[in-house]
């Protein structure tokens, strides 16, 4: 099936873009009949654009109804809207799914906005009423974090709470407020599994919300994606796993997102949106460099990043991939059933072509210039600006006067980049696209079978005297394979890496974000003032104190609806009067009555429906003394005088108040005492002060002591003579060593009494142990660990036969340093005592084991694993005949690295020992025309200047007269040092070099393709590499494919 798909792709590749319609439709029909993969149809459509310049590829997708930025006028409503999701950094107005009100007079209005249809997107920033708003740090228990753009004079009027789609319960506040709503209840069932949403709570205020319900926009970091570079099971580093989305993470990398879309995104209904391609259809040796190219640092930002809002019901996966590729000047091609990617500058050349390579029996074509309408010499880029609230913003036009003069016409191309949110990136993409577009040369050349390994998006280097090319780069755009002669016709377009050099002039900042506008305030009350006055009665005598307030009403009476006034005592801030004046034009009013002879303060502010009033400064006023005087009392009546300062020594009135006490004149002084004759009844406890000891006579008896009143602190220390009886164990503290006289003998130690905490680290050495002293009965289970045994202490003379049991050894206790050479023999080990948990890694070495000591009955099942055996330890002399049986070896212990060449023969393999799980993928094969090999895994630094083996494998060639086409991809790393320096790769056939390639500047990923005639039988293919400098390097992995082609 894959071979048929490969041939079909070749047939499609043979058609030029302008005439691909009928044949593409036929090929699509073929694919529809042989596969259920949507990716096949998608492949045909994408492949039609390969061969165009980057600008022409962007132009080819024009005419589609693609929204640019946030073009909708409001948050959507209803049930027919498309499910959406955010990928990368982007913004959405969301979809209103619920709104309701609660509180006194429904003062709190709440909206629930769905932010996408897939879980995992995280909230970044909020835009409300056209401005970004910071959030407060103190979370409201019901409503979430305060929206600072709607905070007025320290009072919050808006809060936001966001769920990312992973929630397992309904929002408790919505349930508490609306579960009993008769029309639109929000119940415990309203969880929103897998749906991220935001709750915006607003307190009604005409000043804060002058336009009513606000416009809302939400900036988000999109849903998580699988990144194979973070998956250690496929050669990366990390915990990402394709089959476990909980391990994925957010990304702005456009190629990572493209990879995931091709493999398919799972939607809520169980359907797959995207390509449903298998992992093997997207070779990581090609995709990982593309992902890495996007992450290259450019002045503190990734070279290529992206963000987008997908509408699943409206956007096709091909449309979204096109926008992601536009964000990184990327190209994609499906060839032979595989998907290949290319990002930015062309890849390094994989083959060289000269005039001598062209087949003179077939026609070669050249197209040096495009049609006039296909020529552009200016470009205007438009990107999505976060500073402009995620709307489209154009950049300054990029032009080249030399090209305009050369063309004789001005032609501007409008480059829309809806997935780009960085102006520097947008400018670089526009410049790179225009320069790449000016590379017009195209060729279609017939080539021999040596070039059958080429594929679209490969780069080749061309040297041609006929065309005046000296090592000029071209990109393969199409391949036509003649299956009879094994020749190809390859279509090429001109490329140049210099077109993608970073220009610092385009690294400009995004436009500044719109800041929150302050809530409007009034101009205050002009000339506000206050003054004290006395209000008289009808007789014209003073009646009470009052305060007159004044303001200038001219110019403000029409703009406000009233004035609020407050009057307080100056020292205590106690309110005396407050109220509202509606007759603003009057310009004055009187506050009455007010306390006489009192320091007051007065302030006022204007009242308005749509603006915030501010209080005036406090005006200080002291009211007049209109209190009752002595002269106001009738004869024989006198007041109680209130006295401050010091107690008078001369009589003022009969009674005075001093320091809140009533004093009477005794005839000579003011006294506060009350004569006994004036006291009636009994005094209570509260009226009696504490009694000193001197006031008590006699003794305190038991009935006079309250229960629990006598505490430890009340009791003096007890002498020994006060203690009767015996002390119990619980009453004795631990007895220190200094308290023990003499020595503790063996008879004083109970069997099993000595446990690990009783032995000091390294305390037990050989000199402390008598021969045959240690027996099993003296050791508690798990007592002896590595820290209790000094190095070389345990020798065979110290251990009684059969003493060491498995239960006496703590896990990982016995290490090499604790065992004297040749100490452990069979007689010291009880049957089955040695298990895997008792042996530390790499502990068992050859010098610790006496000859033929290890027999089958000494080893517990599955005990000895590779990690427990030091390199080169177990030799024939250490193993008794017939000892190692299948049940003694843990699964996956014996690897190829531990087996010597030709070491295992039939006599070493037990019946039914080799199962499917023990055989490496593709280890058992039949003669075939296709061989694949994976070499590497990070190795130790290779010698720099010598030829080093990268990988080798054997290909069985069944027929004579065959060609062997070898396709290798080498991934290696420098281990420090400069990248400048020569390097080389060479291929060997059965030990003899037959081809090589190299360069002067180090490349991390190198493709290497060659074809050679071979004989029949097993052919050993070896790939070697070297560095010309003295810098060592690491061989990470090598992917090799060998294909046998019959002549």
Question: Degrees (nearest 5) of the Cα angle 851, 855, 858?
Answer: 120
Is the pLDDT assigned to residue 934 strictly greater than 90? no
Dihedral angle, C-alpha 275, 279, 280, 284, nearest 10 ° = 110
pLDDT digits (tens, 9 = 90+) for 956-982: 888 777 777 787 767 666 655 555 567
SS3 state of residue 795: coil
Confidence of residue 679 (pLDDT cuts 50, 70, 90): confident
Which pairing describes strands 980-989 and 661-665: parallel, antiparallel, or unpaired?
A: unpaired
Q: Domains along the chain? A: 59-66+224-341 (no CATH), 84-208 (no CATH), 529-622 (2.60.40.10), 630-678 (no CATH), 752-919 (no CATH), 930-1046 (2.60.120.1340)
SS3 state of residue 393: strand
pLDDT score recorded for residue 871: 53
Specify whether the CB–CB gap between 414 and 468 falls below 8 A.
no
Residue 430, C-beta contacts closer than 8 angstroms, at least 6 positions apart: 379, 380, 381, 395, 398, 415, 506
Torsion angles phi and psi, residue 938, rounded to 5: -55, 125
- 370 CB burial (10 A radius; 0-12, 13-18, 19+): middle
Query: According to DSSP H, which parts of 934-986 are helical?
Result: none
Query: Whole-number mean pLDDT of the chain?
Result: 77
Confidence of residue 689 (pLDDT cuts 50, 70, 90): low
Question: Cβ atoms within 10 A of the Cβ of 130, count?
Answer: 13
pLDDT score recorded for residue 1017: 86
Residue 174, C-beta contacts closer than 8 angstroms, at least 6 positions apart: 98, 110, 112, 186, 190, 199
Which pairing describes strands 265-266 and 307-311: parallel, antiparallel, or unpaired?
A: unpaired
pLDDT digits (tens, 9 = 90+) for 19-48: 333 323 333 332 333 233 333 333 333 333
Confidence of residue 991 (pLDDT cuts 50, 70, 90): confident
- 21 CB burial (10 A radius; 0-12, 13-18, 19+): exposed
> Is 699 or 353 the better-scoring residue by pLDDT?
353
pTM of the model: 0.55
pLDDT score recorded for residue 788: 52
- Of 592-601, 743-752, 934-943, highest mean pLDDT: 592-601
Question: Cβ atoms within 10 A of the Cβ of 1024, count?
Answer: 19
Is the pLDDT assigned to residue 551 strictly greater than 70? yes
What are the structure tokens assigned to 684, written together? Answer: 């209570």
- Of 3-12, 278-287, 613-622, 929-938, highest mean pLDDT: 278-287
Average pLDDT over residues 596-601: 94
CA 326 to the chain's CA centroid: 25
CB burial of 53-84 (b: ≥16 within 10 Å; e: otherwise) equals: bbbbbbbebeeeeeeebbeeeebbeeeeeebb
Question: Degrees (nearest 5) of the Cα angle 951, 952, 954?
Answer: 155
Is the pLDDT assigned to residue 569 strictly greater than 60? yes
What's the CA gap between 163 and 97, in Å, rounded? 14
Residues 866, 871, 872, 873: is their CA dihedral positive or negative?
negative
> Is 931 or 13 the better-scoring residue by pLDDT?
931
Residue 848, C-beta contacts closer than 8 angstroms, at least 6 positions apart: 816, 819, 821, 822, 823, 824
Render 625-666 in DSSP notation, one character per residue: --PPPGGGSPTT--PPEEE-SS--SS-SSSEEEETTEEEEE-
Average pLDDT over residues 662-669: 90
pLDDT digits (tens, 9 = 90+) for 485-514: 888 999 999 999 999 998 888 888 877 666
What's the CA gap between 838 and 863, in Å, rounded? 9
pLDDT digits (tens, 9 = 90+) for 994-1004: 777 777 666 66
What are the structure tokens assigned to 649, written together? Answer: 């020594």
Residue 645, C-beta contacts closer than 8 angstroms, at least 6 positions apart: none
Residue 521 gets which letter from DSSP? Answer: B
**Helical packing angle, 38-47 and 317-326, nearest 10°:** 40
Residues 350, 352, 358, 363: is their CA dihedral positive or negative?
positive
Average pLDDT over residues 390-407: 93
SS3 state of residue 201: strand
Specify whether the CB–CB gap between 934 and 1037 falls below 8 A.
yes
Whether the ω angle into residue 209 lies within 30 degrees of 0, i.e. cis, is no
**What is the chain's alpha carbon radius of gyration, rounded to the nearest angstrom?**
46
Dihedral angle, C-alpha 109, 115, 116, 122, nearest 10 ° = -130
Residue 32 gets which letter from DSSP? Answer: H
pLDDT score recorded for residue 23: 28
What's the CA gap between 550 and 259, in Å, rounded? 75
Percent of residues in the chain assigned helix, strand, coil, to nearest 5: 20, 30, 45
Is the pLDDT assigned to residue 475 strictly greater than 90? yes
What's the CA gap between 600 and 712, in Å, rounded? 59
Cα 807 to Cα 223, 400, 811, 815, 827: the distances in Å are: 52, 84, 10, 17, 17
Is the pLDDT assigned to residue 625 strictly greater than 90? no
Is the pLDDT assigned to residue 523 strictly greater than 90? no
Is the pLDDT assigned to residue 177 strictly greater than 80? yes
pLDDT score recorded for residue 76: 57
SS3 state of residue 991: coil
Cα 551 to Cα 337, 455, 589, 982: the distances in Å are: 87, 88, 9, 90
Torsion angles phi and psi, residue 906, rounded to 5: -60, -35
pLDDT digits (tens, 9 = 90+) for 191-237: 999 999 999 999 998 888 888 889 999 999 999 999 999 999 999 99
- Of 47-61, 529-543, 751-765, highest mean pLDDT: 529-543
CA proximity to 250, closest of 220, 219, 224: 224
SS3 state of residue 174: helix
What are the structure tokens assigned to 889, written together? Answer: 């070896």
Residue 269 gets which letter from DSSP? Answer: T
Is the pLDDT assigned to residue 146 strictly greater than 60? yes
Cα 6 to Cα 10, 12, 505, 1042: the distances in Å are: 6, 10, 45, 16
pLDDT score recorded for residue 640: 84
Is the pLDDT assigned to residue 734 strictly greater than 60? no
CA proximity to 159, closest of 143, 173, 171, 136: 143
CA proximity to 331, closest of 507, 459, 242: 459
Average pLDDT over residues 635-644: 81
What are the structure tokens assigned to 815, written together? Answer: 């290490």
């Amino acid at each position: 099936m894959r071979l048929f798909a490969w041939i079909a792709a070749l047939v499609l590749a043979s058609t030029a873009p302008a005439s691909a319609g009928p044949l593409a439709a036929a090929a699509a029909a073929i694919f529809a009949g042989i596969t259920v993969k949507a990716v096949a149809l998608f492949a045909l459509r994408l492949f039609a654009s390969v061969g165009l310049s980057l600008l022409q590829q962007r132009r080819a997708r024009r005419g589609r109804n693609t929204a640019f930025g946030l073009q909708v006028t409001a948050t959507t409503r209803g049930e027919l809207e498309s499910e959406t999701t955010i990928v990368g950094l982007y913004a959405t107005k969301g979809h209103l799914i619920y709104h309701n009100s609660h509180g006194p007079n429904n003062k709190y209005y709440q909206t629930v906005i769905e932010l996408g249809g897939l879980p995992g997107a995280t909230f970044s920033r909020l835009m409300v009423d056209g401005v970004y708003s910071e959030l407060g740090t103190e979370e409201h228990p019901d409503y979430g974090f305060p929206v600072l753009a709607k905070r007025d004079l320290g009072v919050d009027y808006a809060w936001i709470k966001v769920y990312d789609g992973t929630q397992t319960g309904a929002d408790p506040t919505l349930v508490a407020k609306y579960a009993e709503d008769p029309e639109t209840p929000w119940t415990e069932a309203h969880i929103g599994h897998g749906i991220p949403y935001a709750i915006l709570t607003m307190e009604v205020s005409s000043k804060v919300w002058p336009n009513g319900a606000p416009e809302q926009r939400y900036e988000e970091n999109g849903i998580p994606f699988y990144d194979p570079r973070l998956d250690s099971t496929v050669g990366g580093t990390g915990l990402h796993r394709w089959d476990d989305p909980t391990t994925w993470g957010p990304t702005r990398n456009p190629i990572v997102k493209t990879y995931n879309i091709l493999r398919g995104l799972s939607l809520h209904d169980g359907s797959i949106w995207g390509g449903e391609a298998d992992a093997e259809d997207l070779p990581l040796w090609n995709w990982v460099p593309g992902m890495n190219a996007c992450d290259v640092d450019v002045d503190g930002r990734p070279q290529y990043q992206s963000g987008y809002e997908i509408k699943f019901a409206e956007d096709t996966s091909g449309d979204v991939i096109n926008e992601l590729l536009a964000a990184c000047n990327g190209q994609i091609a499906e060839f032979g059933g595989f998907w290949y990617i290319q990002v930015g500058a062309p890849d390094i050349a994989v083959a060289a072509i000269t005039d001598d390579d062209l087949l003179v029996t077939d026609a070669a074509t050249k197209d040096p210039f495009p049609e006039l309408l296909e020529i552009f010499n200016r470009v205007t880029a438009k990107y999505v600006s976060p500073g402009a609230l995620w709307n489209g913003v154009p950049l300054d036009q990029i032009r080249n006067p030399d090209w305009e003069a050369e063309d004789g016409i001005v032609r501007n191309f409008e480059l829309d980049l809806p997935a780009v949110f960085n102006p520097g990136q947008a400018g670089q993409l526009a410049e790179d696209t225009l320069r790449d577009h000016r590379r017009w040369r195209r060729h279609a050349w017939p080539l021999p079978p040596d070039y059958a390994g080429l594929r679209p998006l490969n780069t080749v280097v061309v040297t041609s005297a006929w065309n005046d090319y000296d090592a000029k780069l071209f990109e393969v755009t199409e391949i036509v394979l003649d299956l009879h002669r094994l020749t190809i016709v390859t279509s090429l377009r001109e490329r140049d890496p210099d077109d993608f050099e970073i220009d610092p002039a385009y690294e400009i900042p995004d436009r500044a974000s719109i800041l929150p506008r302050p809530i409007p305030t009034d101009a205050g009350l002009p000339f506000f003032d206050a003054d004290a006055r006395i209000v008289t009665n009808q007789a014209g005598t003073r009646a009470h104190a009052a305060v007159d307030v004044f303001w200038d009403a001219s110019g403000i009476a029409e703009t406000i609806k009233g004035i609020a006034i407050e009057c307080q005592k100056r020292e205590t801030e106690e309110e005396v009067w407050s109220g509202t004046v509606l007759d603003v034009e009057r310009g004055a009013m009187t506050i009455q009555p007010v306390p006489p002879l009192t320091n007051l303060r007065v302030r006022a502010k204007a009242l308005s429906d749509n603006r915030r009033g501010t209080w005036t400064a406090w005006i200080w006023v002291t009211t007049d003394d209109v209190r009752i005087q002595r002269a106001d009392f009738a004869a024989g009546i006198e007041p109680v005088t209130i006295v401050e300062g010091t107690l008078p020594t001369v009589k003022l009135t009969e009674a005075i108040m001093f320091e809140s006490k009533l004093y009477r004149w005794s005839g000579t002084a003011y006294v506060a005492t009350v004569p006994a004759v004036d006291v009636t009844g009994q005094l209570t406890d509260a009226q009696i002060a504490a009694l000193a000891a001197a006031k008590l006579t006699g003794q305190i008896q038991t009935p006079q002591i309250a229960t629990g009143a006598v505490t430890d602190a009340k009791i003096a220390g007890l002498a020994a003579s006060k203690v009767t009886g015996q002390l119990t164990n619980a009453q004795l503290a631990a007895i220190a060593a200094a308290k023990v006289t003499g020595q503790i003998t063996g008879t004083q130690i109970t069997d099993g009494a000595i446990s690990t905490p009783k032995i000091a680290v390294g305390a037990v050495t050989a000199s402390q142990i008598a021969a045959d002293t240690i027996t099993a009965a003296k050791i508690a289970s798990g007592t002896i660990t590595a820290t209790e045994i000094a190095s070389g202490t345990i020798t065979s003379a110290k251990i009684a036969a059969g003493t060491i049991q498995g239960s006496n050894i703590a896990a990982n206790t016995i290490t090499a340093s604790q065992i004297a050479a040749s100490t452990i023999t069979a007689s010291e080990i009880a049957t089955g005592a040695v298990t895997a948990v008792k042996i530390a890694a790499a502990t068992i070495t050859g010098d610790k084991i006496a000859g033929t000591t290890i027999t089958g009955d000494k080893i517990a099942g599955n005990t000895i694993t590779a990690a427990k055996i030091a390199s080169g330890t177990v030799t024939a002399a250490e193993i008794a005949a017939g000892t190692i049986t299948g049940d003694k070896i843990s699964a996956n212990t014996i690897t190829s690295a531990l087996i010597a060449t030709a070491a295992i023969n039939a006599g070493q393999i037990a019946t039914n020992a080799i199962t499917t799980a023990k055989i490496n993928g593709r280890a058992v094969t039949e003669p075939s025309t296709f061989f694949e090999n994976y070499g590497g895994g990070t190795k130790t630094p290779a010698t720099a200047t010598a030829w080093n083996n990268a990988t080798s494998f054997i290909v069985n060639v069944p027929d004579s007269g065959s060609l062997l086409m070898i396709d290798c991809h080498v991934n290696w790393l420098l281990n420090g040092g400069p990248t400048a320096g020569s390097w080389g790769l060479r291929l060997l056939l059965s030990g003899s070099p037959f081809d090589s390639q190299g360069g002067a500047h180090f490349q991390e990923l190198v493709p290497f393709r060659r074809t050679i005639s071979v004989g029949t039988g097993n052919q050993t293919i070896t790939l070697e590499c070297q560095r010309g400098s003295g810098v060592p390097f690491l061989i990470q992995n090598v992917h090799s494919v060998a294909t046998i082609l019959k002549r």
